[in-house]
Amino acid sequence: MDQLKDFLRILRHSFHNLLPIVVVVAFFQLAVIRQMPDGVLAMSVGLLVVVLGVALFLQGLELGIFPIGKNLSNEFAKKGSLPLLMAFGFCLGFSAVVAEPALIAVASQAELISEGRVDAFTLRVLVALSVGAVVALGVVRTILGHSLHWYMIVGYVLVVTVTFFAPEEIVGLAYDSGGVTTNIVTVPLIAALGIGLAASLRGRNALAHGFGLVALAVMVPMISVQIYGIVVYSFGEAADPAALVPTLAVGGPELPEAGGRGVLLTMVIDLLTMFRDVLPIIAVVLFFQYMVIRKHIAHIHKVMGGFVLVIVGLYAFVIGLKLGLFPIGRSMAEQLIGLDTIVYIYLFAFAIGFATTMAEPALIAIGQKAEEAGKGRLDGNRIRLLVALGVAIGITVGVHRIISGDSIHYYIMGGYAFVIALTWLAPKYIVPLAFDLGGVTTSEVTVPLVTALGIGLATHIEGRNVLIDGFGLIAFASIFPIVTVMLYALYVERVTRLKGVTS
């Protein structure tokens, strides 16, 4: 009975969080464009399915993923074995990313853009290896108690340096490949590992040392993919263009189109596909739980029920996205370009960036964990507002780049140069959380709508290449939340210092 009440509470909360998207789209359709898009009923149903999927997913997190992640961290900390912890971190990072549908979609885009120079499977494995290695590195950082400052400063100096030399065709997708590694399942699981480990070690602070794994998982693939792009563009050969099939959709199950048994069969197959995507994570967890720690999972029925809810919720979520959010983004881009002024495109980019981020389930989950870890210093709702503002600014800047036709190189290098400077100046406790929040913004709500907007703009603006100019918005959605969170922390620190002086 209590679990049913919790679910209904989460369902109301999910509906409340999705309302900003509905308000933004309705306002622009009725007040600016003054016409309703085709398929508005299907879009509305899709949004309701998204609400249900988010609620099921969050309930599953609380029942399954968060408890098992924290329990494994505690057990490994008790054993005091650094190699075991690193092996677990590597396997967890690799398994969570290698079958990620959004990464599969991005990898196929890379193969297409490079005219076959970049191999999609090789790219997926490279990104998964990068994430696995960096999660293992992040575990060592937490154990040793290192500040995240130097890791991020050195890392992003390298990111910016590599971007200067990387070919234009690979930059946008390289940054997008870093963004899609932090998905709706990966973020809570990796965050639970870091927070649980920090809480288990004496002298470690959950806020300063528990966060940061997600940030590292976003950063390193950006470097490795760009280096891979430099190599293949220098030495690789283009394939026959006829053999390359474009795929512009974000990964996930296709919508059933047949009727009767065909619909049911398609839905079952898609649900099994979603289970396959999560299966590597479950396999890693079970292997380390029973073969390494050699202990039974406490309340296993709740944990397994939680994983089932995560899978079902994720499936419903992606179906809702394909019915609702992706068509909305594509339709709105086409309609707004048809208007006489481009000001409305900027306004829509800002508004939809803010609205999608406020509805982001992974951000909601991390915001709650940050509030718990901060012990009164942080407010979850305020964090979400700051991140949403950052995403709104970032997407607006990214849209301007598409409209103006500028190269992504200078925008990315300038943005991360500013981030590096803020990392040097910001309070140490906020840096891991700020970078993690930059990764959280590129999850399952934001990516489809933002990707659809970018592709729609690049498709309908003369002189733009959809496979170069249409991608990269995700990168902007990652940079600016880091900026807004750090600037806010600097402001709070300054106000506190002034109060201390005057009192």
Q: Could you report the per-residue pLDDT of 172-191, keeping only the tens digit for each?
A: 778 777 777 766 666 767 77
Helix 82-98 to helix 261-287 angle, to the nearest 10 degrees?
A: 170
Give the burial string for 436-457 (b: 16+ CB within 10 Å, else e).
bbbbbbbbbbbbbbbbbbbbbb
- Who contacts 119 (Cβ-Cβ below 8 Å, separation ≥6)? 111
* Residue 490 predicted with pLDDT over 80: yes
If you count them, how many residues does the chain have? 503
What pLDDT does residue 241 have? 46
Residue-averaged pLDDT of the chain: 77
- Give the pair of three-digit tokens for residue 252: 């996930």
Q: What are phi and psi of 166, to 5 degrees?
A: -70, 145
What pLDDT does residue 238 have? 57
Least confidently predicted of 120-124, 183-187, 395-399: 183-187
Helix (H, G, I), strand (E, B) or coil at 177: helix
Residue found under tokens 């408890």: 67
Q: Could you report the per-residue pLDDT of 125-158, keeping only the tens digit for each?
A: 898 899 899 888 888 888 888 877 788 888 888 9
The Cα–Cα gap between 503 and 497 comes to: 10
The Cα–Cα gap between 503 and 491 comes to: 18
The Cα–Cα gap between 322 and 46 comes to: 7
Helix (H, G, I), strand (E, B) or coil at 455: helix
The Cα–Cα gap between 118 and 135 comes to: 25
Helices marked H in 34-185: 40-60, 66-79, 82-98, 101-113, 120-144, 148-165, 168-180
The Cα–Cα gap between 113 and 176 comes to: 14
Q: Which domain holds residue 400?
A: 2-502
Stretch (H or E) spanning 253: none
What pLDDT does residue 446 have? 65
Q: Could you report the per-residue pLDDT of 400-425, keeping only the tens digit for each?
A: 998 888 888 788 888 888 988 998 88
Residue found under tokens 């309302």: 19
- Residue 395 near residue 349 (C-beta atoms within 8 A): yes
- The percent of residues above 70 in pLDDT, for the chain, comes to 81
* Residue 310 predicted with pLDDT over 90: no
The Cα–Cα gap between 444 and 187 comes to: 11
- Give the pair of three-digit tokens for residue 173: 């997708």
pLDDT-based confidence at residue 109 (cuts at 50, 70, 90)? low
* Residue 65 predicted with pLDDT over 80: no
Highest mean pLDDT among 70-79, 154-163, 244-253: 154-163
pLDDT-based confidence at residue 285 (cuts at 50, 70, 90)? confident
Least confidently predicted of 94-103, 311-320, 452-461, 478-487: 94-103
Catalogue the long-range contacts made by 76-83 (C-beta closer than 8 Å, 24 or more residues apart): 76/197, 76/293, 77/197, 77/200, 77/201, 78/200, 79/293, 82/140, 82/143
The Cα–Cα gap between 188 and 307 comes to: 13
- Residue 397 near residue 476 (C-beta atoms within 8 A): yes
- Residue 184 near residue 317 (C-beta atoms within 8 A): yes
> Which of 313, 316, 320, 399 lies closest to 352, judged by CA?
399
Radius of gyration of the chain measured on its C-alpha atoms:
22
DSSP for residue 247:
-
Q: How many domains does the chain have?
A: 1
Highest mean pLDDT among 215-229, 276-290, 442-456: 215-229
More confident residue, 222 or 243: 222
* Residue 325 predicted with pLDDT over 70: no
- Residue 82 near residue 220 (C-beta atoms within 8 A): no
> Which of 150, 134, 122, 281 lies closest to 221, judged by CA?
134
pLDDT-based confidence at residue 293 (cuts at 50, 70, 90)? confident
- For the segment 358-366, the average pLDDT, to the nearest whole number, is 72
DSSP for residue 295:
-
What pLDDT does residue 394 have? 92
Is the dihedral angle over the CA atoms 439, 444, 450, 455 positive or is it negative? Answer: positive
Other beta carbons less than 10 A from residue 69's beta carbon: 23
More confident residue, 462 or 249: 462
Least confidently predicted of 222-226, 308-312, 324-328, 422-426: 324-328
